[in-house]
């Protein structure tokens, strides 16, 4: 079982004979033990590293070995443990950890693009992702075409020879549209474009994005990896070549690296992530089923419900519907009344947390968008996003029932 980890003073372990499940990998992968043989991963809270001689410093700056570090902005043993564990979990060759999910999104895009490049992106994006694609990249001369991500013909029409990259959230926030990773990847690869997937809502537990065709997978670790609302973090996963030759030089010189303390917190978060995310997804399905048909709701959106437009794709791509659902109460007034009447659910804007969280996207996370854009994306005034936590689902349902108008 310790094949995935390093024992004191040993070289990194060899691959085990039988592939281990994600649940096991999330506990053991990437461990680097110091000479003390500690059980829990050590926090190397240091910016720098000492060289025995001037010659050793020169040699390390020329080519750092696998256990050699130079400066925490470039890498750190605790951060490296997190990178190796999440890479093993995602089935990626390598990973670069970042200070937040947005540092990962912007770092992945900025590190690989230059003026004159063309990018195709789905339109239904987290507000900050939309800002990076619409405002930042275009300012540096990158051309961005936005499409309806669920429409394969739209992708086909927008991707052209010379398109450098496609970008999308595999499950969109907050409307929970599901994009076909395999089909979009096939179109992108035929044109020579790289596929970058923001995979937050799929979670590393249910993701098979790389085997489905994604070249680069991006997570906000702030969400399910921490899972307890403590820290910001992110990660860019891909081939060793992409991560070390394209992403690392950009990230290490521009400064969006993850702190060792946060990396340690995220390592501990990964150990329980499988159990947490599965329990949260089971509760989300139970709530979606129980709320379907409630007379106070015009819609219950959950990719795990048979009525969702991409239900079959969801099952094929992720196996289940995830930890987030959305309901439509019909108006801003009804949504606010419901939010204010909830006693157990917390009004906030994180997701993937142990605590169940309700968000009114139209006035918070997506407030910046013009009304036409909100309407086009399906972010209605009555929409409430529900991030399902670790509480007992019957308590969560009872609280929703008492807060919604009688149905």
Ligand X SMILES: *Cc1c(COP(=O)(O)O)cnc(C)c1O
Q: Collapse the DSSP code of 9 into the 3-class scheme (helix H, G, I; strand E, B; otherwise coil) and give the result.
A: coil
Q: Which residue has the tokens 């609280």?
A: 399
What's the rounded Cα separation, in Å, for the pair 100 and 14?
Answer: 31
According to the binding rule CB under 6 A, does residue 207 interact with ligand X? Answer: no
What's the rounded Cα separation, in Å, for the pair 150 and 183?
Answer: 10
Taking CB under 6 A as the criterion, the residue among 111, 150, 163, 173 binding ligand X is 173
5, 28 contact by CB (below 8 A)? yes
Sites for ligand X among residues 75-114 (CB under 6 A): 100-102, 105
The strand pair at 357-359 and 383-387 is best described as antiparallel
339, 386 contact by CB (below 8 A)? no
Nearer to ligand X by Cβ, of 283 and 359: the residue is 359
Nearer to ligand X by Cβ, of 98 and 185: the residue is 98
Nearer to ligand X by Cβ, of 29 and 105: the residue is 105
Tokens of 120: 């195709």
Q: Please tell me the count of residues contacting ligand X according to CB under 6 A.
A: 16
DSSP track, 336-353: HHHHHH-SSSEE-S--S-
Nearer to ligand X by Cβ, of 223 and 308: the residue is 223
What's the rounded Cα separation, in Å, for the pair 342 and 329?
Answer: 14
Positive or negative, the CA dihedral 344, 203, 21, 6 is negative
Nearer to ligand X by Cβ, of 134 and 186: the residue is 134
According to the binding rule CB under 6 A, does residue 232 interact with ligand X? Answer: yes
Q: Shortest gap between Cβ of 198 and ligand X (angstroms)?
A: 5
Q: Shortest gap between Cβ of 236 and ligand X (angstroms)?
A: 12
Q: Shortest gap between Cβ of 350 and ligand X (angstroms)?
A: 8
The strand pair at 234-238 and 299-301 is best described as unpaired
According to the binding rule CB under 6 A, does residue 198 interact with ligand X? Answer: yes
According to the binding rule CB under 6 A, does residue 386 interact with ligand X? Answer: no
Nearer to ligand X by Cβ, of 4 and 251: the residue is 251
Tokens of 149: 């991500």
Taking CB under 6 A as the criterion, the residue among 107, 149, 213, 234 binding ligand X is 234
Q: Collapse the DSSP code of 130 into the 3-class scheme (helix H, G, I; strand E, B; otherwise coil) and give the result.
A: helix
Q: First and final CA of the chain: distance in angstroms?
A: 52
Sites for ligand X among residues 312-371 (CB under 6 A): none
Residue nearest to ligand X (CB): 101
What's the rounded Cα separation, in Å, for the pair 27 and 12?
Answer: 16
Q: Shortest gap between Cβ of 134 and ligand X (angstroms)?
A: 15
According to the binding rule CB under 6 A, does residue 175 interact with ligand X? Answer: no
Tokens of 58: 């020169």
Q: Shortest gap between Cβ of 135 and ligand X (angstroms)?
A: 15
250, 110 contact by CB (below 8 A)? yes
Per-residue contact flags (x/-) with ligand X for residues 121 to 150, judged by CB under 6 A:
-----x-xx---------------------
According to the binding rule CB under 6 A, does residue 303 interact with ligand X? Answer: no
Taking CB under 6 A as the criterion, the residue among 25, 220, 283, 359 binding ligand X is 220
List C-alpha distances in Å: 107 to 99, 129, 150. 10, 12, 25
Integer-rounded Cα Rg, in Å, for the chain is 22
List C-alpha distances in Å: 390 to 88, 265, 277, 351. 25, 19, 9, 12
Nearer to ligand X by Cβ, of 389 and 399: the residue is 389
Peptide linkage before 361 cis (omega within 30 of 0):
no
According to the binding rule CB under 6 A, does residue 222 interact with ligand X? Answer: yes
Taking CB under 6 A as the criterion, the residue among 41, 90, 117, 169 binding ligand X is 169
Nearer to ligand X by Cβ, of 229 and 330: the residue is 229
Which of the ranges 8-16, 58-66, 217-225, 384-392 carries the binding residues for ligand X, by CB under 6 A?
217-225
Q: Shortest gap between Cβ of 149 and ligand X (angstroms)?
A: 13
Nearer to ligand X by Cβ, of 198 and 215: the residue is 198
What's the rounded Cα separation, in Å, for the pair 200 and 357?
Answer: 16
Q: Shortest gap between Cβ of 201 and ligand X (angstroms)?
A: 6
Residues at the interface with ligand X (CB under 6 A): 100-102, 105, 126, 128-129, 169, 173, 198, 200, 220, 222-223, 232, 234
């Amino acid at each position: 079982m310790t094949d995935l980890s390093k024992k004191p003073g040993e070289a990194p372990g060899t691959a085990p004979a039988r592939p281990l499940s994600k649940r096991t990998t999330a506990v053991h992968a990437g461990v680097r033990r110091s000479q003390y043989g500690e059980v829990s991963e050590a926090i190397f809270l240091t910016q720098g590293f000492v060289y025995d001689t001037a010659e050793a410093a020169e040699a390390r700056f020329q080519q750092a070995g696998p256990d050699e570090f130079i400066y925490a902005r470039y890498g750190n043993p605790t951060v490296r443990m997190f990178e190796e564990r999440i890479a093993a979990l995602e089935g990626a060759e390598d990973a670069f950890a970042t200070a937040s999910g947005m540092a990962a999104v912007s770092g992945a895009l900025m590190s690989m693009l230059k003026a004159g490049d063309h990018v195709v992106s789905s339109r239904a994006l987290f507000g900050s992702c939309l800002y990076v694609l619409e405002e930042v990249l275009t300012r540096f001369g990158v051309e961005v075409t936005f499409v309806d991500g669920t429409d394969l013909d739209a992708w086909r029409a927008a991707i052209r020879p010379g398109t450098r990259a496609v970008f999308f959230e595999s499950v969109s926030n907050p409307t929970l549209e599901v994009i076909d990773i395999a089909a979009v990847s096939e179109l992108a690869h035929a044109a020579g474009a790289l596929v970058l997937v923001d995979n937050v809502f799929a979670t590393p537990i249910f993701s098979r994005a790389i085997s489905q065709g994604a070249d680069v997978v991006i997570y906000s670790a702030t969400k399910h990896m921490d899972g307890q609302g403590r820290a910001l973090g992110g990660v860019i996963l891909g081939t060793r070549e992409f991560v070390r030759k394209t992403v690392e030089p950009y990230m290490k010189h521009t400064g969006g690296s993850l702190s060792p303390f946060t990396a340690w917190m995220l390592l501990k978060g990964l150990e329980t992530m499988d159990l947490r995310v599965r329990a949260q997804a089971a509760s989300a399905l139970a709530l979606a089923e129980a709320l379907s048909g409630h007379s106070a709701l015009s819609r219950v959106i959950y990719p795990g419900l048979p009525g969702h437009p991409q239900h079959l794709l969801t099952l094929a791509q992720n196996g289940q519907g995830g930890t987030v659902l959305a309901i439509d109460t019909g108006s801003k007034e009804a949504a606010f009344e419901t939010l204010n009447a909830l006693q157990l659910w917390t009004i906030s804007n994180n997701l993937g947390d142990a605590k169940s969280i309700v968000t009114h996207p139209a006035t918070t996370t997506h407030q910046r968008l013009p009304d036409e854009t909100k309407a086009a994306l399906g972010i209605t005034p009555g929409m409430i996003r529900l991030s399902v936590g670790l509480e007992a689902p019957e308590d969560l349902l009872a609280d929703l029932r008492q807060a919604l108008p009688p149905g």
